[in-house]
Amino acid sequence: MDTAKLLEPFKDNNKRITVLTGAGISAESGIPTFRGPEGYWTVGSREYRPEEMATHSMFTQNPWEVWAWYLYRHTVCKNAKPNSGHHAIARMEELFKDRFCLITQNVDGLHLRAGNSLERTFQIHGNINYTRCAGECTPRLFEFPEGIVDKKKDQPVTEEEKKLLTCPRCGSLARPHILWFDECYNETWYKAESAMGWATSTDLLLVVGTAGATNLPMQIGMMVARNPEAVIVDINLSDNPFRQFAAGHDRGIVLDGPGGKFLPELLSLWEP
């Protein structure tokens, strides 16, 4: 079956649509995945990999190095702009309303800036534009503090900035609102159960720019792939497990290329 035939019916049926995004869509906005050399960080005489920096254990030992790394990343994200793929996904939410849900692994906040609502966006790895109390005095999120200037790579946190990076409620250290490698998904901060619950009954899964390296997205992909009635679409520059799910499914679609190209094309099938 061709793409239009599989996807056009969603225009006015009552079925559920889930978009799942990963680093690939943000790379098109110039945000590196940070798994490569851009994410390496020198502390003293040692160079650390992102998988070592983005951990609770590193934050406990070396909070200001971890914060310096995140302030640099925050600067990169802040200066990036949503691309045509992000805008197409925001438009999908407008069209499909409560039939639509976005699950993103990206912490850059670009989907929200493009116009997706917080209510219908599960940011399962957090959002770099928020902080929370490292002492967990409250589950509340706090907006990224004003007064922190743009950072270059390896630029340290100043004493003034350290004062800003504290919990406004109890005064203890604040942390980035990010799921670290040595932490688990949960509902309170990462809406993991909500995301999984929604995806359980989705009729269309549209996967964009993710390599499938993380656990929750893989579970969602496997679950939808087992449903013979669902439609599964993979948009990516390279092979990945979601592509295998789509390729092996009767109602699967593989689109080899960037989200910025294919998402507006798919959207045009649904525009009134």
| CA 31 to chain CA centroid, nearest Å | 12
User: Which range of residues in 22-30, 74-82, 165-173, 189-197 is near Zn ion by CB under 5 A?
Assistant: 165-173
Whether the CB-CB separation of 73 and 79 falls below 8 Å is answered with no
Query: 115: which 2 tokens?
Result: 């116009």
Of 64 and 270, the one with the shorter C-beta distance to Zn ion is 64
Q: Is 56 noted as a catalytic residue in this protein?
A: no
The reply on whether position 254 binds Zn ion by CB under 5 A is no
Residue 83 CA to residue 88 CA, distance in Å, equals: 9
| CA 27 to chain CA centroid, nearest Å | 12
Residue 134 CB, shortest distance to Zn ion, in Å, is 8
The reply on whether position 78 binds Zn ion by CB under 5 A is no
Q: Indicate left, alpha or beta for 209 from its phi (over 0: left) and psi (-120 to 50: alpha).
A: left
Q: Which amino acid is present at 133? A: C
The reply on whether position 237 binds Zn ion by CB under 5 A is no
Q: Pick one of 1, 149, 170, 247: the residue that binds Zn ion (CB under 5 A).
A: 170
User: Which range of residues in 6-14, 113-121, 161-169, 186-194 is near Zn ion by CB under 5 A?
Assistant: 161-169
Residue 246 CA to residue 251 CA, distance in Å, equals: 8
Of 48 and 130, the one with the shorter C-beta distance to Zn ion is 130
Residue 49 CB, shortest distance to Zn ion, in Å, is 30
Asked if residue 77 belongs to a known ligand binding site, the reply is no
Provide the terminal-to-terminal Cα distance of the chain, rounded to the nearest Å.
23
Asked if residue 170 belongs to a known ligand binding site, the reply is yes
The reply on whether position 165 binds Zn ion by CB under 5 A is no
Residue 175 CB, shortest distance to Zn ion, in Å, is 10
Residue 130 CA to residue 143 CA, distance in Å, equals: 5
Residues paired with 166 in a beta bridge: 173
The reply on whether position 89 binds Zn ion by CB under 5 A is no
Encoded one letter per residue, x for contact with Zn ion by CB under 5 A and - for no contact, window 112-151 reads ---------------------x-x-x--------------
Catalytic residue, candidates 74, 86, 125, 249: 125
DSSP characters over 38-51: GG-EEETTEEE-HH
Query: 209: which 2 tokens?
Result: 């720019």
Query: 138: which 2 tokens?
Result: 């409250």
Q: Is 134 helix (H, G, I), strand (E, B) or coil?
A: coil
The reply on whether position 169 binds Zn ion by CB under 5 A is yes
Which residue numbers belong to the known binding site for Zn(2+)? Answer: 133, 137, 167, 170
Q: Residues interacting with Zn ion, by CB under 5 A?
A: 133, 135, 137, 167, 169-170
Active site residues per annotation: 125
List, as residue ranges, the binding site: 133, 137, 167, 170
